[in-house]
């Protein structure tokens, strides 16, 4: 396994690459969407939150796709710092909103997806994380929920306010949209849209040598803002990968989100998907509680035994990149950095322990067989 760090758009510079190197990372995953653009409810020093139902920010320019030239320049910049560029996380809603919404620009947006995949292939960037979600993140609250009063993110009940027109996946793609809200669709319709997307995207992704990696719904509630969710229980990842055996049909495996789900237990879930070799990369985040009532914790302090997770991944031959997902904000003048450094140090020690043969004690039978 390889230790990586996820960097938001405003962090794509030498200072953050040096920070990743110093913490022992070999890889980075980059976000090219500026989630914080014109976003009022969204502090740039933290993960994007947007509050319960506010947009993160305004999506990018619909006519400007990420080009091979700029991706190559980015890869070279990352490599000059001694790191590898493993992947890009998330499409810009401006480039693909009508694939999610089945809108009039859908055909053009599929061309956008194809162009982005080809550009990534040309640039030698092997992974594209995505979240096939209409509502995206919602319902988040922030507070001193983590150990020692560290600020972290949580959820306290479902959120049913409808999504305003012109907004999808927690961002505004059309500031001039007519008033009104998005009509609800069914779960079946959302799966139909995903299947059509994968059928049209996977052949191009495969040819480009790029893996599409699906993130589960965060937070994992059956609906969010009157829209269906796709992957809100662990078994739903199976349905997604069973759509196609393509080596480009992979998972962006988010441990925090999976542990918040009300069915299954996290160790069986990690066993199930790592044994099938369908994990592209892993988000490490610990939590306490189940959606819609949970909060994020320090990596060593939640309900999930992360050393056991590392051991299961290793036992099943997972050799990809692991990154911290989010971390609590530590009380100091660099809260994001401190939270990430703590998480990376923990993961680094965990990887060393696994390399030296650490084996966790067997689980109580209640956990190893039943659902928790």
Binding residues vs Mn ion (CB under 5 A): 254, 283, 325
Give the nearest residue (CB) to Mn ion. Answer: 254
Give the 3-state DSSP-derived string for 340-354, with helices as H, strands as E and coil as C: HHHHHHHHHHHHHHH
Minimum distance between the CB of residue 218 and Mn ion, rounded to whole angstroms?
A: 6
Distance CA 85, CA 66 (A): 15
Report in angstroms how near the CB of residue 103 gets to Mn ion at its nearest: 26
Nearer to Mn ion, 211 or 283 (CB): 283
- Smallest gap, in angstroms, from Cβ of residue 71 to Mn ion? 23
Q: Which is nearer to Mn ion, 84 or 326 (CB)?
A: 326
Q: How many residues does the chain have?
A: 372
Residue 32 vs 254, nearer CB to Mn ion: 254
Minimum distance of Mn ion from residue 80's CB (angstroms): 28
- Separation of alpha carbons 200 and 175, rounded Å: 29
Smaller CB separation from Mn ion, 31 or 283? 283
Cα 179 to Cα 106: distance, rounded to the nearest angstrom: 22
121 versus 216: smaller Cβ distance to Mn ion:
216
For the CB of residue 289, give the shortest distance to Mn ion in the complex, in Å: 16
Checking 200-205 for CB contacts under 8 A at 24+ apart, the result is 200/110, 200/113, 201/110, 201/113, 201/114, 201/117, 202/244, 202/246, 202/248, 202/249, 203/246, 204/113, 204/114, 204/117, 204/118, 205/117, 205/128, 205/246, 205/248
């Amino acid at each position: 396994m390889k230790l990586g760090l996820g960097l938001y758009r405003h962090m794509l510079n030498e200072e953050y690459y040096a920070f990743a190197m110093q913490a022992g990372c070999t890889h980075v995953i980059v976000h090219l969407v500026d989630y914080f653009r014109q976003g009022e409810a969204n502090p740039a020093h933290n993960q994007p939150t947007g509050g319960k139902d506010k947009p993160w920010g305004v999506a990018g320019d619909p006519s400007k796709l990420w080009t091979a030239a700029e991706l190559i320049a980015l890869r070279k910049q990352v490599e000059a710092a001694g790191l590898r560029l493993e992947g890009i996380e998330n499409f810009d809603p401006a480039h693909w909103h009508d694939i999610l919404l089945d809108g009039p620009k859908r055909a053009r947006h599929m061309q956008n997806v194809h162009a982005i995949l080809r550009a990534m292939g040309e640039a030698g960037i092997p992974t594209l994380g995505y979240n096939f979600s209409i509502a995206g993140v919602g319902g988040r609250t922030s507070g001193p929920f983590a150990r020692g009063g560290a600020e972290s993110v949580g959820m306290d009940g479902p959120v049913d306010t409808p999504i305003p027109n012109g907004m999808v996946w927690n961002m505004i793609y059309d500031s001039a949209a007519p008033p009104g809200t998005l009509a609800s669709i069914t779960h079946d319709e959302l799966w139909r849209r995903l299947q059509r997307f994968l059928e049209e995207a996977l052949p191009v992704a495969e040819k480009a040598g790029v893996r599409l990696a699906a993130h589960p719904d965060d937070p994992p509630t059956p609906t969010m803002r009157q829209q269906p969710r796709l992957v809100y229980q662990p078994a739903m990842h199976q349905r997604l990968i069973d759509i196609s055996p393509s080596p480009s049909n992979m998972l962006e495996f988010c441990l925090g989100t999976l542990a918040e789900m009300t069915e299954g237990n996290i160790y069986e879930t990690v066993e199930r998907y790592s044994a099938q070799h369908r994990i592209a990369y892993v988000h490490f985040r610990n939590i306490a509680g189940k959606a819609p009532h949970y909060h994020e914790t320090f990596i060593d302090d939640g309900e999930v035994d992360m050393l056991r997770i590392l051991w299961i991944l290793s036992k099943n031959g997972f050799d990809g990149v692991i990154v911290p997902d989010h971390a609590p904000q530590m009380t100091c003048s660099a809260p994001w950095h401190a939270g990430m450094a703590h998480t990376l140090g923990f993961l680094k020690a965990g990887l060393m322990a696994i390399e030296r043969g650490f084996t966790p004690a067997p689980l109580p039978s209640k956990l190893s067989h039943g659902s928790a």
